[in-house]
Structure 1
Amino acid sequence: MRRHHRFLAAVLPLLLAACAPQLVRIKGDAGLLAAQAARERALAHTDHWTLEGRLGVSDGRDGGSGGFTWTQDGDDYRFVFRAPITGRSFELSGGPAGALLQGLDGGPLRGTDAEALMRRALGWEVPLHDLRAWVLGLRADSGPAELAFGDNRLPSLLTQDGWTVDYRAWDAARQPPLPTTIFASRPPYKVRLSIETWSLR
């Protein structure tokens, strides 16, 4: 029974976020796009931060969910995922020289591409490169992007690199505002982030 309660505690925030009402979709006009460009300029050099929250990943059949801490220090990163129920707890760290995945059966794994390393070890499809920009509410540098906005005049939907990024909630008390609930999908893959704390350095 206790294990069942822990499982509910782990997935409930993501289920509630999935049921949240959609923001109004407004096509980006000149004013909205100019405001977004200003946000992107203000956050362009924001590359030292820590965020904590919950992560859910699915390939349409299998997946996992748990708590995470993501620390970004320039081009170096450390991503710790904690899922005591399933046992899929691990740490992914690295930078331009490569990536290191620790904590899973089979010992540490090294590779030049963090996304490929996670796919190989876990079967998870997570757009880590683009996600570094998307968690800030920015367009990534991976190619053209289309934006739609909510009635809060902040990005509501971002389509880029084959992924659709749905921004469900923002921390508007910050300037510039930062996203707190992000659903990214490229069928059949889904990545859901519920950010509980942001710390910019």
Structure 2
Amino acid sequence: MSRSWRCMALLLPMLLAACVPAVRMQGDAGLLDAQRVREQALAGADHWALQGRLGVSDGRDGGSGSFSWTQQGDHYVFVLRAPITGKSFRLSGGPDGALLEGLDGGPLQGPDAEALMRKALGWEVPLRDLRAWVLGLRADGGPAALSFGANRLPALLQQDGWTVDYPAWDDSRHPPLPTKVYASKPPYKVRLSIESWQFQ
């Protein structure tokens, strides 16, 4: 067998495995009840911190880096560190407005964090909904449609025009928490890979 054919023989099982679609089930009464129990258990979880990797794209350009997100009630601090340039952005705020720091032209302040990100960086990030989605919960916004995986946890959430995939969960926690959250609303994509969770 030639070397190229041996490589193909080794790669083919991996390629086929990558093509297998994730198991997704429509929510029956049992699955939806279990999700409501998760949501009730996490409803008061508004003091937490997480760290991981973030990637964003508008279909043409994008950015990525390590990030940390600290939530203290209605106040938050979100820090993104770019891997190559070493540059960092810091978004902080609460009900009274938001402050984006780390820009070449100096800090930018405004009443809406999502508008600041859009204006300064060209990134469409649904921060209000993402606060719930990152916990694997439905946001308080519009109606939501859920599909579940073989682990009986949410695999796909559709809400407010966004599609949120949950490829991985930490089910050693009670209740379980997502470790990967991929949100998309063409042409925009936001991908979070969560390495650590801390609750206060």
Pair in the same fold by TM > 0.5? yes
**Identical aligned residues as a percent:** 74
Distance of aligned partners of 1:75 and 1:84 in 2 relative to their CA distance in 1, 3 Å threshold: same
Asked if residue 196 in structure 1 is aligned to residue 187 in structure 2, the reply is: no
1:166 is matched by which residue type in structure 2?
A: D
| TM superposition shift of 1:20 | 9.2
* One-letter code aligned to 1:173: S
How do 1:36-47 and structure 2 match up within 5 A?
Answer: 36-47=35-46
1:71 equivalent in alignment to 2:70: yes
Structure 2 vs 1, CA of residues 192 and 134 (structure 1 numbering), >3 Å: closer, same or farther?
same
d(CA) in 2 for partners of 1:137 and 1:185? 15
Contact 1:146 1:160 in 2 (8 A): yes
**Aligned-partner SS, 2:69:** strand
SS, match of residue 24 in structure 1: coil
Change (3 A) 1:126 1:64: same
Decide whether the 8 Å contact of 1:49 with 1:73 is kept in 2: yes
**8 A contact 2:48–2:70 mirrored in 1:** yes
**What TM-score results when the alignment is normalised by the length of structure 2?**
0.89
RMSD, aligned CA: 1.3
Provide the residue aligned with 2:8 in structure 1.
none
Q: Alpha carbons of 1:198 and 1:106: their partners in 2 closer, same or farther (altered >3 Å)?
A: same
Secondary structure of the structure 1 residue equivalent to 2:179:
strand
Residues 58 and 190 in structure 1, CA contact (< 8 A), matched pair in contact too: yes
CA distance in 2, matches of 1:165, 1:49: 21
Query: Residue 184 of structure 2 aligns with which residue?
Result: 185
Aligned length: 183
Shift of 1:89: 1.7
Unaligned runs of 5+ in 2: 1-17
Report deviation, 1:110: 0.2
Q: Which runs of 5+ in 1 are unaligned?
A: 1-18
Per the normalisation by structure 1, the TM-score is: 0.88
| Higher Rg of the two aligned structures | 2
Paired residues for 1:27-106 under 5 Å: 27-86=26-85, 88-106=87-105
Q: By how many angstroms is 1:84 displaced?
A: 3.9
User: What is the deviation of 1:85?
Assistant: 1.4
> Can you list the C-alpha shifts for 1:72-114, whole angstroms capped at 9, x where unaligned?
0000000000004145521000000000000111001000000
Deviations 1:110-169 (A, max 9, x none): 000000000000000000000000000000001100000000000000000000000010
User: Relative to structure 1, is the Cα distance of residues 87 and 48 closer, same or farther in structure 2, using a 3 angstrom cutoff?
Assistant: same
The 4+ residue runs of structure 1 with deviation greater than 2 A are: 19-23
Q: What residue number does 1:146 align with?
A: 145
CA contact (8 A) 1:80 1:91 kept: yes
